[in-house]
Amino acid sequence: MSVTLLGVLNSVELVLVTVPEPTTAVSFYVERLGFRCLDSDDDAATLQLGSLQLVLQRGPVPDTGGAARIHIRVSRETLESVWRDDRRQRPSVAGPRLVAGAIFEYETLDPAGNVVRLKTPVTAGPRGGPPPSARG
């Protein structure tokens, strides 16, 4: 996977990822992770989730040794849904882990084999909002 952080402009993070088949990758990011497709053609697609713009460009996926290079903040509901889907396909897959900063992280694979690290705060409610006790 080739990932290039192009810049942070007006609080928008722009990340470039190479994938062998952009159309297949778009389906994963839109349907499973909640991205919105801003533009696409046969060779590239631009997606957005919050302040993250992800550009999927046709190209070879380099070996990263299993390291996650794409980090995406998602709702707890999305993280848990992706984990459930992964467990159906690979029952022994490791679940989310708690890391510094009270963040749950879970690593999944996109259709190109890129390791994608999903993150959600422990205190977030099911849809990324405040926890139930703080909703009033």
Q: What is the pTM of this model?
A: 0.78
The Cα 58–Cα 107 span in angstroms is 23
pLDDT of residue 1: 46
**What integer is the mean pLDDT of 27-41?**
96
Q: Is the pLDDT reported for residue 42 higher than 70?
A: yes
pLDDT of 34 over the 70 cut: yes
CA 14/CA 112 separation, integer angstroms:
19
Q: What is the reported pLDDT for 132?
A: 44
Question: pLDDT exceeding 70 applies to what percent of the chain?
Answer: 83
Which residue intervals of 3-130 are DSSP H helices? 22-27, 76-89
Q: How far is CA 101 from CA 21, 105, 120, in A?
A: 35, 11, 10
Give me the mean pLDDT over the 9-22 stretch: 84
Three-state SS at 38: strand
Domains of the chain: 3-134 (3.10.180.10)
Residue 32: helix, strand or coil by DSSP? Answer: helix
Q: Facing residues of 18 across strands?
A: 57
Which of 13-22, 25-34, 91-100, 127-136 has the weakest average pLDDT? 127-136
* The predicted structure's pLDDT at residue 29: 97
